[in-house]
Structures are given as C-alpha cells and as structure tokens.
Amino acid sequence: ETGVTQSPTHLIKTRGQQVTLRCSSQSGHNTVSWYQQALGQGPQFIFQYYREEENGRGNFPPRFSGLQFPNYSSELNVNALELDDSALYLCASSTGDPSSYEQYFGPGTRLTVT
C-alpha cells in the first residue's frame, strides 16, 4: 500500500510569484485535504476535495486554489505569493466516509517565499 506522497520536498519562490504543489493520495482514498503549517504552529485547514469537487474550505483567501484529478491526486495553487505564505504545506487523504475519521498525511512541502 503506497502512502501519501508530495512534491516537491522544498521550494523557494519570490513574492508575487505563483506556485503549484502536488499530492498523490493513498490507494483507495477519494478525499484530499490541504493544510498550512507555520513554524511552531499546528496545521491550519485550507480546503478539502472530494470526488474532484471542493467540499470544504478554511479561512484562506481565494488566491489559494486547488484541483483534484480523476485518480484522486491533487494540486494546491497559490497566486501572488506573500512572505507570510512561507510554511510547510501538508496534504492528507482519507476515504470520505463520515464514519472513518483517520486522515493520512504526507511529509509536506516546505515553501519559502523571499
């Protein structure tokens, strides 16, 4: 069973640029959630995709957007990068079954905005 994978591992961007982060969900999982984790803080929920549709969103501006593909992999796009966007971005997959609460997290992508 393949776990959740994310790419790239690290990324450095300049303020104002755009970035795309990628996530492959665990086999059999149709739901992907994205989180942002600033240094020393717990992860903050960005949004969730279920069967290629966004079905939940945290308190993040529209410049944070995403996609989910038919194979349930996902992308997180961030436009007009700001210095405060520097963080660890985590992807988590799950089955989408409301009785199944376990989310499986990937190792994250470390984004640095200069």
Q: Which parts of this chain interact with another protein (CB under 8 A)?
A: 4, 31, 33, 35, 40-48, 50, 55-56, 58, 90, 92, 94, 96, 98-99, 101-108
Q: How far is the CB of 101 from another protein (least distance, A)?
A: 6
**Helical H segments across the chain, by residue range:** none
Identify whether the C-beta of residue 35 lies closer than 8 Å to the C-beta of residue 16.
no
Tokens at 17, concatenated: 């640029």
Q: How far is the CB of 77 from another protein (least distance, A)?
A: 18
CA 110 to chain centre: 12
Nearer to another protein, 13 or 45 (CB): 45
Nearer to another protein, 17 or 100 (CB): 100
Nearest to 50 by CA among 95, 1, 99: 95
Q: How far is the CB of 48 from another protein (least distance, A)?
A: 6
Q: Which residue has the tokens 């997290």?
A: 105
Nearer to another protein, 16 or 107 (CB): 107
Nearest to 52 by CA among 67, 62, 63, 65: 67
Nearer to another protein, 15 or 84 (CB): 84
